[in-house]
Structures are given as structure tokens and as C-alpha cells.
Amino acid sequence: MAVKSSTSITPAWSPWSEPPRRLAYPPSRKGLPWHHLPLAHAVNYQQATAYLDRLQLFKIKLGLETTAELLADLGDPQQKMAIIHIAGTNGKGSVGATLLSILTTAGYRTGFYSSPHLISVRERFRIGDAYITEEDFARLMDKVRAVAGDRQPTYFECTTLLALLWFAEQDTEIVILETGMGGRLDATNVVSPLITVLTDIEYDHEQYLGTSLEAIAGEKAGIIKPGVPVVFSGRATPALPVIEQRCREQQSPLYLLDRDFSGHHAKDNSFVYHPMAGPPGWTLPQGLAGPHQAINTSLALAALELVDNTFPVSRQALTAGLRQVSWPGRMEICTWRHHTGNKRFLLDGAHNQAGVLALQQALTTGYPRQKLLLIWGNMADKQLTSALASLIELAATVIFTRTKSNRFADPADLRAQLSITKQAKCSCAETVEEALERAVTIMEDDDLACVAGSLYLIGRARHILQREMVR
């Protein structure tokens, strides 16, 4: 496939002129001893998850040194697999889930590492339709812990190591690897992928990634490797020159949405894709719901085009895979079989301004209902007042709530930030259970309750509505 040239002006600012740095916030705190369990002791799943949860004490630590060192000690399992590496602000999981469904349907043993999870940490590790077993999770986590010794990997570093070990052990043919945050200093950025995919770049995690789209794009661009093709949505105008410059530096061909390929949802709920090569206008199933998913589906299909020589996918497998794709907690309709009757809930993990606007657009153009109820909670470090105010316009009733995490914003504070008019239709619930119960008491059969604001909130709500996702 021909290398695409880039003609955009190189920005004066470039993050690649800066020396590598290791970020830590807040500083690591003293917690329980690292060697909590004897190295020779075979741990069970509960012990393994408890050990992993204690690593949350160390919070976020961006940098590649620990991950690279531990992978070397573990035999560099990442070198034994073909990888599609995904970064971006929104849509990473949707692209990954779409790729997983199509490649699995095509007959490839496909791994998918994603984050965060909604209910169980095992959701982060999949091969096809199967999640990692509790036994494999415990065994591999103990192996990671033993190799770590006195070093202190973070929660995300440990799950990344475990994922790469498991995928190598299970002889996966291709792995979809989603970054946790950023890219340049993300723990997943120790691999040499076949393809790099960059989804929409928007404002999020500014305290770590920078306060401008150029700075954030620079961090995301860190996963671009020499000569490795890049698929990019390119919709954030300030981000595009940064990505183009990085591709030029790495001599990596760049393929842009709406320049080299495109896709859109048709009126009959099908999806029309215009590929890089071959006849335009493939008519396919829609895949994931929501107007914004046309972008993510297009990125996934473009990535498949670029790996077609190694992992060819038939039109039949493409069609079947799109029909079967699922990504829980993202524009997901759930029915709660409550004692007062069946109630419809829409769960969406929108947690930044771009995500909230995408949810607002989806609710404006679809999801028929008599009335909309909104159950909302967000992390305290998110500034979503303006986006949330627009979403509230669509709702007849709003219930602010939070999970047990002390990182959540106080519901009363969220309500107080709104105008007096909007406050009149808002109430507060101290728990997710209370918020859901309050909603069903005022819902009619044709009403829809939307739960949004945080994936952690979605996870708790989904657990109440449908129990565990993994078996």
C-alpha cells in the first residue's frame, strides 16, 4: 500500500524535544508491605485481587522503565505476538471491541487488553469471547509479584504485564492492546505493533497529559513507532499537525479518516464504508450504537485493511463480526426486571466533555421514550458543568449520586453548580442503589433512565441491574 504524504505545516512546539520524564501524582505513600505473601505460596483469586487492589495506594505513575525491566525478567512475552496498539481520548475500547469481534469471527485467536473494567478486573483480559479464568489470573499475578521483588509496579503496570504473559502463554495470533492513559509514557508502550490506531483526541486527564490539545496529542503520538502505519481520526484540528509531524519523524505512513477512508450510518441502520482500496460503498451492519460509533467503526475497518496481507478477513466474517460486536457500558440498553415492572436503562460511560456531547447527540436523535430520567455522577477532578447543563435540558428528572469512592464529586456540589431553574428538577442520592430505586418509582413503562458520568458509576449500576459480566 502506498505511503501517504503529509503536507501540513510543522508546529513550532514538539514534545519530542523534551527529555523523557517520569510523572508521579500523588507521590507514592507507604502502604502494606510489598512482599505480603510468601513467594512460594500459591495464591487464590481473592488473594491475587486483594494484592492488586493494594497497589492502588501508589496511584498513577507514568513511565516505561519498570514495565520494560519486568518484561525482560519475564522473558519479553510481548515479542511473541502481533499487536494492534490503540491510543486516544474516546473510542479506544469501541475500536478494540470491534476489532476483537471481527477477527475472532474470522477465525483468529485474538486477545484484547482494555481498561478500566466495570465490575470484575477479569474484564480487562479477553481471548475471543472468553475472559481470563480466576485460576490463570491468580497464577500469573503471583508470577508478576514474584519477579517484581522490591520494585513497586503500579496497578496498571501489573495488569499490563499479566495481559502480555497470558496472551503469549495462550498462543494468541493477534492482540489488541489499549493504552490506559496518554501513550508516550503509558505502560503498554513497550511493544512493536503491526498497526497504530489513534482515536479522537480531546481534553481529558489534563493534569498528566497537558492543558492543550497539542500537548495531549504529543503524548498520544508517543505510541507511533518507526515505519509502523498509523490510522487516525484526525478530527481535532490542533492535534493533527502534531500527529503528522511525529509520523514524518518516524517515517510512518499516516491514513486519515475522511481523506483515505470513511464511513457513515445510513437511514436503514446499516453502515456504509468507503475503503482505502477496492470499490467504495460497502454496505455492512451498523455495529455499535450511537452516531459517534461511525468514526470508531471506520478506524477499526481501516486497521483491518492494513493487516489484510497477514490477517485477511472475508466480507462474510466482516458482516458477522459487526453484527456480534458488544461493548458493555457504552450506549448499552439494559432491562431491569424490578418488582414494579420492567424498566429500561441506558448505560453510557461518558466522562469527559466530548463523551457527554456524543451522548447528548445520541439521545437527541434516537432512543425513543416518553420521558428521560438522568442518573449522573462524576469524578471530582472532572470539569463538566457546561456539557452536563446541555444534557440536563433533555431530562425531565435528574438524580445526582456517587459510588463509595472518595474520588467522586459530592452530589450536592454538582447540583449547586447548576442554575436555579435546573436545580428544581434535580435531587441527590448518596448511593447508586438509592438512585436506581428512586428512578424506578417515578418511571412509566415508556420512560428511559440514562446512567452516565463515570465508568465506575456504570460498573456499579450494571452490577445492580444485571449482576456479574464474567463467569
**pTM, rounded to two decimals:** 0.88
Q: What is the percentage of the chain residues whose pLDDT exceeds 90? A: 74
Q: Is residue 23 part of a domain?
A: no
Q: Are 160 and 93 in the same domain?
A: yes
Q: Are 391 and 414 in the same domain?
A: yes
pLDDT confidence of residue 106: 98
- Cβ 208 vs Cβ 62: under 8 Å: yes
CB-side neighbour CA atoms (13 Å) of 134: 10
Q: Which of 86-100, 313-327, 375-389, 408-422 has the least mean pLDDT?
A: 375-389
Q: Is the pLDDT of residue 248 over 80?
A: yes
DSSP 165-180: HHHHHTT-SEEEEE-S
Q: Is residue 6 part of a domain?
A: no
Q: Is residue 19 part of a domain?
A: no
Question: What is the distance, to the nearest Å, from the Cα of residue 448 to the centroid of all Cα atoms in its chain?
Answer: 25
Q: Is residue 1 part of a domain?
A: no
Highest mean pLDDT among 207-211, 235-239, 256-260 belongs to: 256-260
Q: Is residue 294 part of a domain?
A: yes
Averaged pLDDT, 406-429:
93
Please give the grid coordinates belonging to residue 97: 471491541
Q: Is residue 306 part of a domain?
A: yes
pLDDT confidence of residue 237: 87
Q: Which of 272, 303, 324 is the last residue of a domain?
A: 324
Dihedral-angle region of residue 372 (phi above 0 means left; psi in -120 to 50 means alpha; beta otherwise): beta
Q: Which of 39-53, 138-152, 274-288, 404-418 has the least mean pLDDT?
A: 39-53
Q: Is residue 92 part of a domain?
A: yes
Reported as a pLDDT band with limits 50, 70 and 90, residue 2 is very low
- Identify the domain containing residue 339 by its residue range: 332-466
Q: What is the percentage of the chain residues whose pLDDT exceeds 70? A: 90
Q: Are 311 and 363 in the same domain?
A: no
pLDDT confidence of residue 1: 41
Q: Is residue 36 part of a domain?
A: no
Dihedral-angle region of residue 207 (phi above 0 means left; psi in -120 to 50 means alpha; beta otherwise): alpha
Q: Are 396 and 435 in the same domain?
A: yes
Q: Which of 268, 294, 324 is the last residue of a domain?
A: 324
pLDDT confidence of residue 23: 34
> What is d(CA 102, CA 36) in angstroms, rounded to the nearest whole number?
42
pLDDT in tens, 343-372: 999 999 998 888 999 999 999 988 999 999
Q: Is the pLDDT of residue 121 over 50?
A: yes
Q: Are 214 and 312 in the same domain?
A: yes
pLDDT in tens, 3-54: 343 333 333 333 333 333 333 333 332 333 333 434 445 789 999 999 898 8
pLDDT in tens, 142-171: 999 999 988 889 999 999 999 999 999 999
Here the CATH number for the domain that contains residue 440 is: 3.90.190.20
Q: Are 159 and 249 in the same domain?
A: yes
pLDDT confidence of residue 238: 93
Q: Are 270 and 362 in the same domain?
A: no
Q: Which of 302, 324, 346 is the last residue of a domain?
A: 324
Number of domains composing the chain: 2
> What is d(CA 430, CA 363) in angstroms, rounded to the nearest whole number?
26
What angle (nearest 5°) sits at the alpha carbon of residue 100, between those of residues 95 and 294?
30
Q: Are 216 and 341 in the same domain?
A: no
221 DSSP 8-state letter: G
pLDDT confidence of residue 9: 30
Reported as a pLDDT band with limits 50, 70 and 90, residue 127 is very high
3-class secondary-structure state, position 144: helix
Q: Is the pLDDT of residue 94 over 80?
A: yes
Highest mean pLDDT among 148-157, 166-175, 409-418, 459-468 belongs to: 166-175
pLDDT confidence of residue 463: 93
Q: Are 107 and 168 in the same domain?
A: yes
pLDDT confidence of residue 57: 63
pLDDT confidence of residue 420: 93
Averaged pLDDT, 324-335:
93
Q: Are 148 and 120 in the same domain?
A: yes
Please, what sign has the CA dihedral across residues 88, 91, 97, 102?
negative
Here the CATH number for the domain that contains residue 318 is: 3.40.1190.10
Q: Are 306 and 349 in the same domain?
A: no
Mean pLDDT of the chain: 88
Q: Are 276 and 355 in the same domain?
A: no
- Cβ 403 vs Cβ 456: under 8 Å: yes
